[in-house]
Amino acid sequence: MQDEVLILGGGVAGCAASIALARKGRSVTLIEREPTSRHKVCGEFLSGEALEDLHALGIDVASLGALPSDLSAPLNASTLTAQVRKACPLDTIWCIEAVTLTSFVADQISPTLPHSFINCGGGGLGWSGGAALGIKLASDFENGGPGKGKFVCQIVGDGTYLFSVPGSVYWISQRYKIPVLTIVLNNKGWNAPRRSLLLVHPDGEGSKVGNEELNISFTPTPDYAGIAKAAAGGNLWAGIAGNMTELMDLLPQAVESVRNGIGAVLEAQLDGTDGKYAGRSGKLVVNGAVGIKGQHAG
Ligand SMILES: Cc1cc2nc3c(=O)[nH]c(=O)nc-3n(C[C@H](O)[C@H](O)[C@H](O)COP(=O)(O)OP(=O)(O)OC[C@H]3O[C@@H](n4cnc5c(N)ncnc54)[C@H](O)[C@@H]3O)c2cc1C
Ligand SMILES: Cc1ncc(C[n+]2csc(CCOP(=O)(O)OP(=O)(O)O)c2C)c(N)n1
């Protein structure tokens, strides 16, 4: 009887205490008032101390960005990357050019294998398209020939994707049969200049105006995956996902396509579809009117 513990509340405190006590041999009953998980206001920040504590509890932090309780809610960089990491092989080589979203992407990838996370110290954007092909070529060469190397996944900002000259990248990818998976992070334009501006002049004129006035908005955004598919002469998997339901449908198809030797470009529409291209059979999405999305028909 002395070993029995009753804990009320299955939040982080209740769950952590339950795990710790159960490990010490106590018989723990945890009672939570709510029947299911639910959305809760949160800054989505995990401190270094919290990471250590979670690790000590045996929790795989990289999978924490897993599934939101509302699968129709807009994607964010963390929930997206957690799913991409899960869908790709464990020994995937990651080619990351995610600009202001890099820390979210890096947190969720949490690479453990040497030489599996490739970034660039320089400031010139647009290298990751050609680099992803080069990495795939090199890995194939190291592992015995075409198709024998590791899976390569490029995660790239939408502005940076355009800098990478996708017309050339996916033409070459198809011409020389170098399949890679590309995830385009569509946050509707350039976020970095706003960050820089706010660092220098947090209360300046620019801090008071929207992205259109700063000329860093891409609305209406281009059809990123369609550009790649056209360059590859149609021989490329192309899709657009704006929420978890769409992502869970499309991501396995994209990964399978790359495994079968056909490159794939998946545009992830972050933080909602407002102002973002909605698919060949749909219409442009402007001012919140949601069109048809999904995989490209042709
Ligand atoms: C706006 C906001 C943003 C935040 N952002 C961050 C962040 O970015 N990073 C971070 O690390 N922390 C953040 N926090 C703090 C973090 O959410 C809390 O520190 C943490 O949730 C506290 O955990 P807890 O288990 O003590 O309480 P809770 O998470 O509140 O859990 C208590 C649980 O007890 C249940 N319960 C209550 N009464 C009963 C009952 N009678 N019977 C059974 N069950 C019951 C409730 O349903 C609930 O599930 C934020 C908090 C707020 C308010
Ligand atoms: C070739 C090149 N042109 C311009 C810049 C300046 N620049 C730095 S970040 C950035 C925006 C990148 O946009 P995006 O890839 O969408 O990432 P986000 O800022 O939205 O995270 C620009 C234009 C640069 N670094 N390199």
User: Any idea where the domains of the chain sit in the sequence?
Assistant: 4-63, 77-269
What ligand is nearest to the CA atom of residue 195?
2
pLDDT value of residue 288: 43
Percent of the chain residues topping a pLDDT of 90: 77
CA of 214 to the centre of ligand 2 (A): 14
Question: What pLDDT, on a 0 to 100 scale, did the predictor assign at position 16?
Answer: 94
Nearest ligand, CA 50: 1
- Whole-number Å distance, alpha carbon 14 to ligand 1 midpoint, is 10
Q: How far is the CA of 127 from the centre of ligand 1 (A)?
A: 42
pLDDT score of 69: 77
Residue 38 has pLDDT above 60, yes or no: yes
How far does the centroid of ligand 2 lie from the alpha carbon of residue 115, in Å?
A: 25
Rg (CA), the chain: 22
Whether pLDDT at 158 is above 50:
yes
Ligand (nearest to CA of 13): 1
CA distances, 252 to each of 226, 241, 264 (Å): 19, 12, 11
pLDDT-derived band of residue 287, with 50, 70 and 90 as boundaries? very low
106 Cα–ligand 1 center, Å: 26
Which protein residue's CA is at the shortest distance from atom 23 of ligand 2? Answer: 190
Pocket test for ligand 2, best of 156, 186, 190 (most atoms within 8 A of CB): 190
Report CA-CA distances (Å) from 271 to 102, 232, 283, 294: 16, 29, 19, 17
pLDDT digits (tens, 9 = 90+) for 82-123: 999 999 999 999 999 999 999 999 989 989 899 999 999 889
- Per-residue pLDDT, averaged over 122-150, amounts to 97
Q: How high is the pLDDT of residue 80?
A: 95
More confident residue, 35 or 152: 152
Q: To test the ligand 2 pocket, which listed residue (125, 156, 194) has its Cβ within 8 A of the most ligand atoms?
A: 125
Structure tokens at 146: 């075409």
Model pLDDT, residue 58: 86
CA 196 to chain CA centroid, Å, is 23
> What is the domain class of 77-269 according to CATH?
alpha beta
| pLDDT over 60 (residue 286) | no
Q: 185: pLDDT confidence band, cut at 50, 70 and 90?
A: very high
Q: Which residue has the tokens 């995830």?
A: 183
Q: Tokens 């048809």 sit at which residue?
A: 292
Q: What is the pLDDT of residues 58-77, one digit of tens each?
A: 887 766 656 787 899 999 99
Interatomic CA distance for residues 64 and 52, integer angstroms: 14
Residue 63 pLDDT: 64
Q: Say whether the peptide bond before residue 193 is cis (omega within 30 degrees of 0).
A: no
3 state SS of 69: coil
Mean pLDDT of 9-20: 94
- For 253-260, what is the mean pLDDT? 97
Q: Is 100 in the pocket of ligand 2 (CB under 6 A)?
A: yes
Q: How far is the CA of 12 from the centre of ligand 1 (A)?
A: 7
